[in-house]
Amino acid sequence: MKDIILITGAGGLIARELARRLEKDYTVRFLTRKKKHNNEFEWNIQEKTIDDTAFEGVSHIIHLAGANISEKRWTNERKSELISSRVDSADLIVKTLQKKKIKLKSFISASGINYYGTKTTNTIFTENDGPGNDFLSEVVILWERAADQFKEQNLAERVIKLRTAVVLSEKDGALKKMLPTIKMGIGSPLGSGKQYMPWIHIDDICSIYEFALKKQDMDGAYNAVSPQHTTNENLTKKIAEVIRKPLFMPNVPGFVLKLAFGELADALLEGSRASAGKIQKAGFEFNFPDLKNALENLLYK
């Protein structure tokens, strides 16, 4: 009999791609705001309501729920939403597991590479490094703390937190947003362009989730990031190179981004490297460790 996996954040890029991989070996269910299919169950984080029949027989939960960090300006209301969508959702699951007296084999939570802070430094951060002290690192600290309670309260045998870098996919996210201007020949790096952009191919991030499910000695935090480092400028140039478009526009000045996006601009203008060493040491092998090969795979489909 197949283990049952419950996935939150059903509308997100990773959830659907991951589910297609897992359906061969697992029974997959989703928690979603609006049920459309038989394997979907409704919940409402704001109203603290949930269809607890979703939890019957569940062995693993993959927690991908979380409002998009870069979708809107960071007003105080938006900041609260970014935190609540991650933390309150986990709290609702905790209460449901307690109510139904369920202990999971694993709770695997998305997390963010911005745990280490939104800053450009010479450091290559490992999982042993401490957190930063800006808004995004605060979001990730609270996100991971919400995940840790599943083990602390004996609701899961293990908790894995995947500190995810920018996910490259032609279907959504940063790459999809960057492509139109580069295709028109007006793409350009942001700010100095020297800020590092930790990245990972959509195929590899889904593979890491599958790897974490099946490798039972995995526990704790892991950087889900490609082993090859790049800057914003290099990423922009590589995209242009792969789709054979010239880049001749000057860099977008930082002050323009700050006028347009407010505090959110910091996430675009700053960034450091993170090490993939721990996940590789655990035995994971990247399919797309090289940026150019990753982009060719995504853009030549």
Is 258 within the bounds of a domain? no
Distance CA 237, CA 97 (A): 48
Is 270 within the bounds of a domain? yes
Number of domains in the chain: 1
Is 254 within the bounds of a domain? no
Is 162 within the bounds of a domain? yes
For residue 122, give its domain range: 4-232+263-299
Distance CA 214, CA 64 (A): 18
Distance CA 71, CA 227 (A): 27
CATH code assigned at 219: 3.40.50.720
Query: Mutual orientation of helices 174-183 and 291-299 as an angle, nearest 10°?
Result: 80
Is 20 within the bounds of a domain? yes
Contact 175, 239 (CB under 8 A): yes
Tell me the CA distances in angstroms from 225 to 139, 203, 232, one per residue in order: 19, 12, 15
In the chain, how long is the greatest CA-to-CA distance? 61
Is 181 within the bounds of a domain? yes
Is 277 within the bounds of a domain? yes
- Regarding pTM above 0.85, the answer is yes
List the chain pLDDT tens, one digit each, 301 residues: 799 999 999 888 899 899 999 999 999 999 998 888 889 999 999 999 999 999 999 999 999 999 988 888 889 999 999 999 999 999 999 999 999 999 999 999 999 999 999 888 999 999 999 999 999 999 999 999 999 999 999 999 999 999 999 999 998 888 888 888 888 887 888 888 899 999 999 999 999 999 999 999 999 999 999 999 999 999 999 999 999 988 877 777 676 767 667 777 777 778 999 999 999 999 999 999 999 999 999 998 6
The closest of 67, 68, 120, 72 to 262, measured between CA atoms, is 72
Distance CA 89, CA 146 (A): 9
Is 30 within the bounds of a domain? yes
Distance CA 290, CA 168 (A): 12
